[in-house]
């Protein structure tokens, strides 16, 4: 039984790490995360002012980061405010630390 639990945990951690790594696979997403890590939160329009990209492109990158659980969005009509998801950010750091050990 112990081996099955270890296998399940290994599989879950490996899949989670792969999902995060895929989201980090684009330089713009890394830059967005660095920017959000320095801010408490910001709106899509704020990111359009920072990065020389169309709003639709920024929105697509935000969607990928959100799907990976690295950021969270809060609806403040008519805008969405984005920030780092602290719980998942911490978990991602731990998964990468364990991977590189």
pLDDT in tens, 10-35: 678 889 999 999 999 999 999 999 99
Q: Does domain 2-100 sit in CATH 1.10.10.10?
A: yes
For residues 10-46, one letter each, b for 16 or more C-beta atoms within 10 angstroms of the residue's C-beta and e for the rest, the string is eeeeeebbebbeebbeeebbeebbeebeeeeebebeb
pTM for the whole thing? 0.84
């Amino acid at each position: 039984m112990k081996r099955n639990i270890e296998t399940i945990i290994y599989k879950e951690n490996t899949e989670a790490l792969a999902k995060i790594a895929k989201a980090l696979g684009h330089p713009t997403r890394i830059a967005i995360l660095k920017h959000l890590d320095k801010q408490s939160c910001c709106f899509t329009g704020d990111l359009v002012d920072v990065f020389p990209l169309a709003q639709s492109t920024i929105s697509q990158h935000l969607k990928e980061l959100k799907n990976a659980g690295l950021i969270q969005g809060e609806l403040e009509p008519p805008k969405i405010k984005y920030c780092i998801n602290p719980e998942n950010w911490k978990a991602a750091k731990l998964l990468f630390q364990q991977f590189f050990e």
